[in-house]
C-alpha cells in the first residue's frame, strides 16, 4: 500500500508534515537562535523522529484496515466465535 493510495485518509499528511517541519527547524535552529545550543536541536530531532514513527505506524494501521475492509470472506458473529472457542476448549479439555 502506498502513501498515494492512502491520501484520502484524514490527517495522513499531517504527521509527515510535522516531522519534516521539526527536522527543518532543528537544522535551522543554530542560525535562528545561536544561543539555543545543540540540546534544543537534538530535542527537535527527537520530536521529529517520534512524529515520523507515529506517521509510519498510522500508515501500517490504515493499510491493515484497508485490507480488512476489502476482505470478502464471510464474517463471524461474536456468538459464533464464542461457540467455536467453547467447542475447541471442550475438545482440548477432553483430550487431557
- Per residue in 27-50, pLDDT (tens digit) is 888 888 888 778 888 888 999 999
Show Cβ contacts of residue 33 under 8 Å, excluding neighbours closer than 6 positions: 40
| pLDDT for residue 88 | 96
In the chain, DSSP finds a helix count (H) and a strand count (E) of: 3, 0
CB 9 within 8 A of CB 62: yes
| Mean residue pLDDT across the chain | 84
For residues 60 and 66, give the distance between their C-alpha atoms in angstroms, rounded to a whole number: 10
Say which residue the cell 540540546 belongs to.
39
- Per residue in 3-17, pLDDT (tens digit) is 444 445 455 567 889
Amino acid at each position: 500500500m502506498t502513501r498515494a493510495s492512502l491520501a484520502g485518509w484524514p490527517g495522513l499528511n499531517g504527521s509527515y508534515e510535522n516531522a519534516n517541519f521539526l527536522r527543518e527547524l532543528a537544522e535551522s535552529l543554530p542560525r535562528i537562535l545561536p544561543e539555543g545550543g545543540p540540546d534544543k536541536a537534538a530535542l527537535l530531532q527527537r520530536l521529529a523522529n517520534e512524529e515520523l514513527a507515529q506517521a509510519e505506524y498510522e500508515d501500517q494501521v490504515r493499510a491493515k484496515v484497508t485490507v480488512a475492509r476489502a476482505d470478502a470472506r464471510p464474517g463471524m458473529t461474536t456468538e459464533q466465535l464464542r461457540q467455536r472457542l467453547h467447542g475447541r476448549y471442550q475438545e482440548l479439555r477432553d483430550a487431557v
